[in-house]
Amino acid sequence: MDLEDRAPTCFDQDMSTTLIELRPAKVADASAVAATHDEAWRSAYRGIIPGAELEKLINRRGPHWWDSAIRKGSRVSVLVFGDNVAGYANYGRNRARSLQYDGEIYELYLRPEFQGLGFGRRLFTAARRDLMQSGLKSMVTWALSDNEPATEFYRALGGRMVARSSERFGPKSLDKVAFAWTG
């Protein structure tokens, strides 16, 4: 990430000034990222992914998982609002060999109370910039088709739908779509 993303900015809210920081995650952030993951996934996928399967997915990604991912050098960026991790993005090389794109945003989530404020766009832009600076000029991300806020978000950011697939969650198979950006 370049310095522009690391420098705190101010956000006026109710006559107070709160610092917003966008930076690479530190090991000390693992618990906060896990809590953000938990809240964001419950909000995004309740009623879409069957309850028992959703709980399994959330429970697999606790603080130890995030601690390990950060220590191993996974690209995880956090958006910190005041003293709280409001969101995170996890990204790197494209994992789908069938799609000819260099990079991929694996996950981009915000706690529900921070959605709709432009923070997701900031996280997305920073992750995309970081990928491009690493030589990964084109990019893809996946979203469940039934997750309308996510599909609308990626469309609004100029993502072009380039592929469809499905993923099984216990007894239920869900449709997912890939959005891509080039250059």
Residue 16 confidence (pLDDT):
61
Residue 27 confidence (pLDDT):
97
Look up the pTM and report it.
Answer: 0.89
Query: Is a pLDDT exceeding 90 seen at residue 135?
Result: yes
* CATH code for the domain of 80: 3.40.630.30
Does the CA dihedral 99-102-106-108 come out positive or negative?
negative
Q: In angstroms, rounded to a whole number, what is the distance separating the alpha carbons of residues 55 and 105?
A: 23
Q: Looking at 16-25, 42-51, 105-114, which range is the least confident one?
A: 16-25
Residue 31 confidence (pLDDT):
98
Number of domains in the chain: 1
Q: Residue 170 belongs to what domain range?
A: 3-181
Average pLDDT over residues 20-28: 96
Percentage of the residues of the chain whose pLDDT score is greater than 90: 88
Q: In angstroms, rounded to a whole number, what is the distance separating the alpha carbons of residues 145 and 174?
A: 8
